[in-house]
Amino acid sequence: MTESTWFFAVAAVASIAALWLGRTMLVRWRLARLKERPILVGAAMRRVGITPGDADACGRGSDLLHAAECCTVCGDTEACRIALAAGSRDLLDRTCPNREFFHDVERYKLVCAADGEGRSGMAPDSRATILPSRPLFPMQ
């Protein structure tokens, strides 16, 4: 084996080891972050008076995963905890990045209740007037 071949072999092994170690450290960092930052979206939904089933009923079930991800990376977890502990819907509405999602699902639920027909009573075309006119999470 020539010296240059030896160098490239060592460099390749070192690169693979660095990539593996980097990925392992990233996964561990994310898990540690999740343990120290619990997802509060469920408690916030209960405070607003909606459920994951309500989100699914109005066609926003897929946005629920994004709302949970948004909650995980939110930098204002302490304000959220304070708002939830105080029972303050107003503070939650001012601080939560998922507030539009919550309002859209809540509005759908209220319209269904006003119709007296339950969630399944709404025709899909009438949902279009309830859903937001702009994307919940606009692309950058």
Q: What pLDDT, on a 0 to 100 scale, did the predictor assign at position 31?
A: 67
Q: pLDDT exceeding 90 applies to what percent of the chain?
A: 10
Q: What pLDDT, on a 0 to 100 scale, did the predictor assign at position 30?
A: 66
Q: What is the mean pLDDT of the chain?
A: 77
Q: What pLDDT, on a 0 to 100 scale, did the predictor assign at position 105?
A: 92
Q: Where are the domains of the chain?
A: 1-36, 38-140
Helix (H) / strand (E) containing 16: helix 3-36
* Tens digits of residue pLDDT in 4-17: 888 888 899 999 98
| CB < 8 Å & 24+ apart, contacts of 81-88 | 81/40, 83/47, 84/40, 84/43, 84/44, 84/47, 87/47
Does residue 132 register a pLDDT over 60? no
Three state DSSP letters for 68-114: HHHHHHCCCHHHHHHHHHHCCHHHHHHHCCCHHHHHHHHHHHHHHHH
Q: What is the mean pLDDT of residues 52-75?
A: 85
Does residue 26 register a pLDDT over 70? yes
Count other Cβ atoms within 10 Å, centred on residue 91: 15
Does residue 127 register a pLDDT over 60? no
Q: What pLDDT, on a 0 to 100 scale, did the predictor assign at position 102?
A: 92
Task: In whole angstroms, give the CA distance from residue 107 to residue 47.
Answer: 15
Count other Cβ atoms within 10 Å, centred on residue 12: 10
Does residue 77 register a pLDDT over 50? yes
Does residue 46 register a pLDDT over 80? yes
